[in-house]
């Protein structure tokens, strides 16, 4: 590892990014990168992938190059880096010859640390020669799943990336993606020729996102309600076709919403202008095609709506991942209909490659299964990506938040199974629903099914509701859906046994409630909303003056903290999430001016910004022979806190303080064995969550003095 890199990196983390702690896996990945090893990183959108190469780049002597397929995204990332005081540029087709030459000269003069390039640029031999003349310290490949034909977004240009290993055989490569099954992961590593790459897989769980699926009944009315609920907040609506995006944008504009369509068929200038307006908060809503990758790195998107069915779970997960990248609560809504499934099937039928066709059908079936679940949606998605989710209730999907009422489905099940048998198990779901509801459809009449005893025997369920019930019966194993372009239904042995000896069967209520149920979203702080809006307006003014998106100045999470703590001096303002030295210097006084004015008019006092959770810069921790090092040695021997305190002639409280400092310094220390027993740990942990405070006294008072300060302080290390 590079000398003193961890000491430096803690300082750089705070200085340039305004963060005082690493997210899960970031430190381990950065360690591997600094050791010059290849890395494969699978981390969900919003999990902090970019930091894993941006921060090490500052410690390397040479240049870090980043391969990104999304030209529109490069500018946002470079703008953000520059706002953080980091020298970065991009080279892609949006620049002219003289602009590219100017950037090349900056590279030759060692004026850049990070360069973003599009994958097609690597096919250019002269550009390859230029790269070969440089000291390249690190190669980062973003959206790495694009190199795999088994991925959901294969891009032939990514095949050019193998040249990087040939040009720079000794340079470390870090490949990053948010969505990849095990098969895709293996393919990425093979295609990029990664050398004994260390694989880092973060949790796919985006706990701040809630997932909801609704039948496409009165969908436009429901859509309007959702958009009103998220008024003036950023939203992306995904549609099936280009025409759909334009029609929906027109309809929403007529309802008074600030909305524009965005798809591959639009002129490049129109797309750029639309994207600029969206990221600068000049419009609130984008309607986009499911198939088109938007490349919008906007952290404060609060609502993602799929107005039509996605073709696979990888795409759905990636698109929903564009919500809440700042970690704040956001919603993901999906409208589903059988007709959408048929539209997707039609396009799959056009595929000439039968292997890819079978793969596409399978992925579509999994997407439909997700829509028709009776159990937790979050659990299903995480299991799809190979991650176990053990909680019984995720408290973040419609099924867990609002379990459907059940009804006695014994009689309707008998009717459905009987109908399938009467038509000799040779027809599909739509035909069965039409038969039971008495449709005089041409095919019903041709087959003389209108003469069967089961014709028209159901009048208390609609066809859509019958399809829901049939899907439930498939999941319960009473009906089998057979393969083929037009899948037929057959009754299983379990279903036939049910017909012989009917037992009461309960199913989830098929009818969908049209009213929109408010989902309670927990906010991190009970901040001043009026002050937040004033700071938001100031952020927009400064962003416009600087020609950058508002989130480049400060994210919503930063503004929420400002609206809670009311920081009015450099020390306190500098402790706010996302405030680094560069932003404190450039924007601090303007924001503090608004805060001071608001506090004066409303008689509000400044609060001390919480110092725990890595807020303090760790000092003197790693010096050989330091008091902290001595404590660390005893912890590594698995001694209790009491034993360590006795050996060192100190109090228990001092030893716990040492542990806090060691953890703040990101020292490799295992304290799991010191975790208090559940009867102590659980009540104190719950108190921290309820009080939303990290100071000891509020927790002590909340618990009515039932636990000592030492016990509370020790539990604080684990929450």
Taking the C-alpha atoms of residue 544 and residue 607, their distance in angstroms, rounded to an integer, is: 30
CA-to-CA separations, 235 to 27, 64, 534, in angstroms, rounded = 32, 33, 21
Q: What is the dihedral of CA 87, 90, 96, 102, to 10 degrees?
A: 30
Integer Cα distance of 719 and 538 in angstroms? 35
Smallest CA-to-CA distance from 41 within 149, 177, 139 is with 177
How many CB atoms neighbour CB 515 within 10 A? 7
Q: Which domains does the chain possess? A: 5-201 (3.40.50.300), 209-401 (3.40.50.300), 406-508 (1.10.10.10), 529-602 (1.10.150.80), 627-716 (1.10.10.1390)
Residue count of the chain, please give it: 719
Average pLDDT score over residue span 156-179:
85
Residue 284 has what DSSP assignment?
S
Percent of the chain with pLDDT over 90: 32
Distance in angstroms (rounded) separating the CA atoms of residues 509 and 567: 51
Mean of the pLDDT values across residues 655-661? 81
Contacts of 622 (CB under 8 A, 6+ apart): 6, 7, 629, 665, 667
Nearest of 525, 519, 225 to residue 395 by alpha carbon: 519
Task: Check residue 497 and give its pLDDT.
Answer: 93
Q: According to the model, what pLDDT value does residue 610 have?
A: 57
Position 515 scores a pLDDT of 40
Encode pLDDT of 304-361 as tens digits: 999 999 989 988 988 898 899 888 899 999 999 878 888 888 888 888 888 888 888 8
Task: Single out the residue of 149, 183, 185, 181 nearest to residue 356, CA to CA.
Answer: 149
pLDDT of residue 513: 46
**Contact assessment for residue 417 and residue 495, using Cβ atoms and an 8 Å cutoff:** yes
Q: What burial class does residue 518 get, using C-beta atoms within 10 Å of its C-beta: 0-12 exposed, 13-18 middle, 19+ buried?
A: exposed
* Residue 437 in tokens: 């509801």
Report the alpha-carbon distance of residue 290 to residue 108 in Å, rounded: 41
**pLDDT over 60 (residue 405):** yes
Three-state SS across 316-369?
Answer: HHHHHCCCCCCCCCEEEEEEECHHHHHHHHHHHHCCCCHHHHHHHHHHHHHHHH
Q: 280, 315, 272: which is closest to 298 by C-alpha? A: 280
Answer for the pair 124, 163: CB distance below 8 angstroms, yes or no.
Answer: no
Question: Which pair of structure tokens corresponds to residue 274?
Answer: 């639309």
Higher pLDDT, 67 or 24: 67
pLDDT one-digit tens code per residue, 557-589: 899 899 999 998 888 898 888 888 889 888 999
Measure the CA–CA gap between 471 and 337, rounded to whole angstroms: 13
User: Whole-number mean pLDDT of the chain?
Assistant: 84
Give the pair of three-digit tokens for residue 660: 């806090």
CB contact at 8 A, 301 and 325: yes
The pLDDT assigned to 618 comes to 40
Q: How confident is the model at residue 484 (pLDDT cuts 50, 70, 90)?
A: low
Q: What percent of the chain has pLDDT over 70?
A: 91
**CA 546, CA 579: separation in Å to the nearest integer?**
17
pLDDT-based confidence at residue 271 (cuts at 50, 70, 90): confident
Q: If pLDDT is split at 50, 70 and 90, which confidence band does 164 have?
A: confident
Poorest-confidence range of 46-55, 277-286, 431-440, 618-627? Answer: 618-627
pLDDT, tens digit, 9 for 90 and up, residues 502-511:
888 888 765 4
What pLDDT score was predicted for residue 620?
46
Helix, coil or strand: residue 74: helix
> Hey, is 117 helix, strand or coil?
strand
What is the pLDDT averaged over residues 450-455?
A: 92
Full-prediction pTM beyond 0.75?
Answer: no
Max CA pair span of the chain: 94
Looking at per-residue confidence, does 580 or 89 come out higher?
A: 89
DSSP 615: T
CA neighbor of 30 nearest in space, from 42, 22, 18: 22
CB 62 within 8 A of CB 132: no
Do residues 280 and 544 make contact, with C-beta atoms less than 8 angstroms apart? yes
What mean pLDDT comes out for the span 155-170? 82
What is the SS3 assignment for 687? helix
> Torsion angle of alpha carbons 43, 47, 48, 49, nearest 10°?
20
First-to-last CA distance in the chain?
30
265 φ, ψ (degrees, to nearest 5):
-80, -10
CA 261/CA 259 separation, integer angstroms = 7
Q: Is residue 168 scored above 60 in pLDDT?
A: yes
């Amino acid at each position: 590892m590079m000398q003193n890199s961890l000491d430096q990196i803690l300082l750089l983390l705070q200085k340039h990014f305004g963060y005082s702690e690493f997210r899960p896996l970031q430190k381990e990945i950065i360690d591997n990168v600094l050791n010059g090893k290849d890395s494969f990183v699978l981390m969900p959108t919003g999990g902090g992938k970019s930091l894993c190469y941006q921060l090490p780049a500052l410690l390397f002597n040479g240049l870090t190059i980043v391969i990104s397929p999304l030209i529109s995204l490069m500018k946002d990332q470079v703008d953000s880096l520059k706002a953080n005081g980091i020298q970065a540029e991009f080279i892609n087709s949006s620049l002219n010859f003289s602009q590219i030459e100017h950037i090349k000269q900056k590279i030759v003069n060692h004026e850049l640390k990070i360069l973003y390039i599009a994958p097609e640029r690597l096919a250019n031999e002269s550009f390859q020669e230029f790269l070969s003349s440089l000291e390249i310290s690190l190669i980062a490949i973003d959206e790495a799943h694009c190199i795999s034909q088994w991925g959901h977004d294969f891009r032939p240009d990514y095949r050019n990336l193998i040249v990087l290993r040939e040009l720079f055989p000794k340079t470390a490569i870090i490949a990053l993606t948010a969505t990849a099954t095990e098969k895709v992961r293996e393919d990425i590593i093979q295609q990029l020729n990664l050398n004994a790459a260390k694989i880092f897989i973060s949790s796919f769980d985006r706990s701040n996102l809630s997932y909801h699926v609704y039948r496409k009944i009165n969908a436009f009315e429901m859509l309007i309600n959702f958009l009103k609920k998220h008024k003036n907040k950023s939203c992306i609506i995904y549609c099936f076709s280009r025409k759909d995006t334009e029609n929906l944008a027109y309809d929403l504009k007529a309802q008074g919403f600030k909305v524009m369509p965005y798809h591959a068929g639009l002129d490049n200038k129109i797309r750029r202008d639309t994207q600029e307006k969206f990221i600068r908060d000049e419009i609130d809503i984008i309607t986009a095609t499911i198939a088109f990758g938007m490349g919008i790195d906007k952290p404060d998107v609060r609502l993602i709506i799929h107005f039509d069915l996605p073709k696979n779970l990888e795409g759905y997960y990636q698109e929903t991942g564009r919500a809440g990248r700042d970690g704040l609560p956001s919603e993901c809504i999906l409208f589903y209909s059988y007709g959408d499934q048929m539209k997707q099937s039609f396009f799959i039928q056009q595929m000439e490659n039968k292997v890819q066709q079978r793969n596409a059908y399978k992925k579509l079936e999994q997407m439909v299964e997700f829509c028709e679940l009776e159990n937790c949606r979050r659990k299903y998605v995480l299991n799809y990506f190979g991650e176990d989710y053990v909680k019984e209730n995720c408290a973040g999907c419609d099924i867990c938040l609002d379990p459907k009422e059940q009804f006695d489905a014994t009689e309707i099940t008998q009717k459905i199974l009987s109908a399938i048998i009467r038509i000799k198990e040779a027809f599909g779901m739509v035909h069965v629903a039409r038969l039971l509801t008495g449709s005089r459809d041409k095919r019903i009449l041709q087959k003389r099914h209108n003469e069967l005893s089961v014709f028209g025997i159901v009048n208390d369920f609609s066809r859509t509701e019958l399809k829901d019930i049939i899907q439930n019966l498939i999941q319960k194993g009473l009906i089998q859906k057979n393969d083929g372009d037009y899948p037929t239904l057959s009754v299983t042995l379990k279903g036939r046994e049910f017909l012989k000896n009917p037992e009461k069967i309960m199913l989830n209520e098929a009818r969908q409630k049209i009213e929109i149920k408010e989902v309670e979203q927990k906010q991190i702080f009970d901040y001043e909303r009026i002050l937040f809006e004033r700071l938001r307006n100031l952020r927009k003014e400064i962003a416009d003056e600087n020609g950058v998106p508002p989130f480049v100045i400060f994210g919503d999470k930063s503004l929420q903290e400002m609206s809670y703590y009311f920081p009015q001096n450099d020390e306190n303002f500098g402790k706010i999430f996302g405030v680094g030295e560069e932003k404190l210097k450039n924007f601090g006084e303007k924001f503090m001016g608004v805060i001071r004015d608001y506090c004066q008019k409303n008689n509000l006092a400044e609060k001390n910004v919480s110092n725990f959770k890595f807020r303090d810069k760790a000092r003197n921790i790693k010096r050989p022979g330091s008091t902290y090092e001595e404590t660390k040695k005893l912890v590594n021997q698995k001694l209790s806190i009491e034993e360590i305190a006795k050996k060192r002639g100190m109090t228990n409280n001092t030893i716990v303080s040492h542990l806090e400092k060691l953890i703040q310094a990101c020292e490799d220390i295992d304290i799991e064995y010191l975790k208090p027993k559940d009867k102590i740990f659980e009540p104190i942990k719950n108190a921290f969550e309820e009080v939303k405070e990290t100071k000891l006294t509020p927790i002590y008072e909340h618990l009515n003095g039932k636990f000592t300060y030492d016990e509370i302080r020790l539990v604080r290390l684990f929450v």
